[in-house]
Structure 1
Amino acid sequence: MVKMMREKIKIKKIDYLPARQVTFSKRRRGLFKKAAELSVLCESEVAVVIFSATGKLFDYSSSSIEDVIERYKAHTNGVEKSNKQFLELQLENEKHIKLSKELEEKSRQLRQMKGEDLEGLNLDELLKLEQLVEGSLGRVIETKEELIMSEIMSLEKKGAELVETNNQLRQRMAMLSGGNTGPALVEPETLNTNIGGGGEDGMSSESATMATSTSCNSALSLSLEDDCSDVTLSLKLGNLQLRDPNTERTIENIREEIYS
């Protein structure tokens, strides 16, 4: 007995327009029916949206088409956000792995520059390491020399400033010394020698008295003109001692004693 075989329909565009419209209506109803069955059997939320060739809208939803669409949008945004975060995390992970490798390599080079972990190096690697160490040492020496020169220049600048300040102080002292010149005072030792007249070259008593009087008058005048009244003027003339007239004697009494 020969079984009747159903001819398989090839899936391609139906050129005949009436047949295409009939097929669209049948298939659409069948699709909506399958969606409803899926929603009932599996307790799922189903929504189907169809636009015909002429732009007409057909839709089916087990609950509300708007709610299903909003849920779909929220889910899509969440998935996109998760995917974006996953990509960012993946990039950060790759960056971390790269930096870890670089850190490990730099640490190994540092240990080798200290003379450690040299067992596995061949001749070429040792030569490169030697050049690297020499270059680093040269940069260290250059930096040290620059620092020393900077300190020397700073010290020289400070020294020049001190010399300039010293010169200015000397000039001021010279100006002050030149402006305060006055009559020279007779040293007490000279007065004692002249008054004593112990030798052949000694002065006479009268001449010594006159010289002493003149010197005393000059000294007393300078003492009176001085603003510092508390300074004591002492001239030893043998056993005669002169002091500030404000404390013991007046000027007239001193003169009388000198001439007597």
Structure 2
Amino acid sequence: MGRGKVELKRIENPTSRQVTFSKRRNGLLKKAFELSILCDAEVALIILSPSDKIYQFASHETIAMYRNQVGLPESNNSSFRQARTMEFGRNNETEELRRTIEHLEMRLKNLAGEELDMLGMQELKQLERQLKTGVERIRSQMGRVISENISLLKRKHKALQEENSRLQKRVSCFYKLL
């Protein structure tokens, strides 16, 4: 059973539209990749999402070959030249995650008191506030843990005292029997 013909019109539901975009984008990128491998074809594909993200795929030196064919001059500032070849459009996400990791690693170093010379006065004050808040939370948690440990030790102490008392009574009964 084949699929019915899809009516081509804008999808009004934003969630459905985004899901369809993601699925079809991945399918299109996959087909471009497959075409380049199976047919040894030079393929270039650029997709601009509604949120202005760029997804691209280019096999080998496709952009340079295109520029030569059309007669465009080679440019070092060309966005095509700066963009890396992306397989299935995942490198854009990877690059974003890499930047997030770098930012978090720098933040961690700052929280550890390292590489502070790159921070301005406002950032240093914000860092100080965050550290004070963190220290207060740590002290509060330590207080709770210590309090729980004290309660536990008191219960154990009471149980040991009762055990000691019980054993002393047994020993005194044993001595009376002798």
TM norm structure 1:
0.33
* TM score, norm. by length of structure 2: 0.46
